[in-house]
């Protein structure tokens, strides 16, 4: 056999497998959604012990004929790291069985936990958000601002306004995403400790503000968001709500927090928002600053998988809202154009970083 021919054949099949892997990537996310819809993470958690396949079928109230299909679903999800298996020793006389247990990833899918990402998974693969990907090629040849508009004839924001279910789903998604930052925020005393007041711009249902107040109860927090978002949002002694538009006005405070907002907007709109933030805070010498929690693309320092995830998020923003994820140089350009003098990036939130921006 010709060695060169064998090497070419091997390279061809590696390339083929690479294409297959990415073509079928949608199956991973939709199988994960299926597990959440069935309630598998919560059933395993509530079982208190490793659960066998037959017991899982019973707990799910599935027809016995679906047992082998559930096994195949779980086999993929175990391989992907969402669940694990362990040996069950009932007694020495009976044959050893395998039981399913949770992993750190599936623990983040428990529905009653503040850190739960179960709603996030279901929102991202909702048909309304998936359909724009089907027309991405048409969008490149067309004149619409986003592929979402190509698919639906309206922007995401207009569609959310007319779809209460999607609106709630996206708000719940942001709320669960904020909950995952609780532990990291407790170590941010030097960032938040000296602030007397803070405005959470685009703060949604106020989850991140409440988490900040748990760690730093002395801060006076204000949640700023559109009227329909903050309607009926409960207030407390240190948590106030303002219905408004960040493009028009931001209440004055020692610090401004912008979490997962700027990636929704293009550069020109981001500069407008940042200028409003600059107007709302005191000078750097008086402790004024803007705190941004968002993604910073860094292909040189991040591992390959993390960079890929950030780049996928970038395309996700492009498809839905004409936003983008940015590298450090692109962030710096925005800050300087908006009138800020310096910044500091701290990568402490996994895919996102905490960026302190000073006037």
The catalytic residue positions are 263
Angstrom distance (rounded) from CA 115 to CA 107: 9
- Contact between residue 276 and residue 247 where contact means Cβ atoms under 8 Å apart: yes
Angstrom distance (rounded) from CA 124 to CA 346: 27
Angstrom distance (rounded) from CA 93 to CA 297: 56
Angstrom distance (rounded) from CA 299 to CA 205: 33
Angstrom distance (rounded) from CA 60 to CA 43: 8
- Contact between residue 259 and residue 200 where contact means Cβ atoms under 8 Å apart: yes
Q: Rounded to whole angstroms, what are the CA distances from 223 to 102, 106, 159, 206, 207?
A: 35, 31, 24, 6, 10
Angstrom distance (rounded) from CA 146 to CA 119: 24
- Contact between residue 38 and residue 100 where contact means Cβ atoms under 8 Å apart: no
Q: Rounded to whole angstroms, what are the CA distances from 97 to 59, 90, 143, 148?
A: 17, 8, 59, 48
Angstrom distance (rounded) from CA 262 to CA 270: 6
Angstrom distance (rounded) from CA 231 to CA 243: 8
> Exposure of 3 by Cβ count < 10 A (0-12 exposed, 13-18 middle, 19+ buried)?
exposed
Q: How many CA atoms lie within 13 A of 35 on its CB side?
A: 34
Could you tell me whether strands 289-297 and 255-259 are parallel, antiparallel, or unpaired per DSSP bridges? parallel
Q: Which residue has the tokens 């679906």?
A: 66
Angstrom distance (rounded) from CA 274 to CA 338: 6
| Bridge partners, 83 (sequence order) | 102
C-alpha of 26 from chain center: 17
């Amino acid at each position: 056999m010709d060695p060169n021919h064998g090497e070419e054949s091997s390279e061809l099949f590696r390339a083929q497998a690479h294409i297959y892997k990415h073509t079928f990537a949608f199956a991973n996310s939709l199988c994960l959604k299926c597990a959440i819809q069935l309630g598998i993470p919560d059933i395993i958690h509530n079982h208190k012990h490793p659960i066998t396949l037959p017991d899982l079928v019973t707990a799910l109230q599935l027809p016995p004929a679906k047992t082998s299909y559930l096994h195949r679903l779980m086999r993929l999800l175990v391989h992907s790291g969402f669940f694990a298996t362990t040996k069950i020793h009932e007694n020495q006389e009976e044959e050893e069985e395998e039981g399913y247990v949770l992993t750190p990833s599936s623990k983040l899918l428990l529905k009653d936990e503040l850190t739960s990402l179960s709603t996030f998974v279901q929102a991202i693969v909702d048909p309304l958000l998936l359909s724009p990907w089907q027309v991405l090629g048409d969008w490149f040849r067309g004149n619409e601002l986003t592929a979402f508009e190509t698919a639906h004839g309206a922007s995401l924001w207009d569609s959310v306004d007319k779809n209460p279910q999607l609106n709630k789903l996206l708000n719940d998604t942001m709320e669960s995403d904020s909950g995952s930052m609780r532990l990291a925020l407790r170590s941010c005393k030097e960032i938040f400790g000296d602030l007397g007041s803070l405005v959470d711009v685009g703060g949604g249902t106020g989850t991140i503000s409440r988490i900040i107040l748990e760690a730093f109860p002395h801060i006076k927090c204000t949640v700023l968001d559109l009227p329909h978002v903050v309607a009926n949002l409960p207030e407390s002694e240190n948590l106030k709500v303002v219905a408004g538009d960040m493009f028009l006005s931001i209440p004055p405070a020692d610090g401004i927090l912008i979490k997962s907002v700027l990636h929704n907007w293009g550069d020109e709109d981001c500069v407008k928002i940042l200028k409003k933030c600059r107007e709302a805070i005191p000078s750097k010498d008086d402790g004024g600053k803007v705190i941004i929690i968002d993604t910073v693309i860094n292909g040189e320092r991040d591992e390959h998988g993390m960079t890929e995830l950030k780049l996928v998020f970038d395309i996700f923003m492009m498809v839905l809202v004409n936003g983008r994820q940015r590298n450090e140089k692109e962030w710096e350009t925005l800050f300087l154009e908006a009138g800020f003098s310096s910044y500091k990036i701290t990568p402490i939130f996994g895919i996102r970083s905490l960026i302190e921006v000073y006037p």
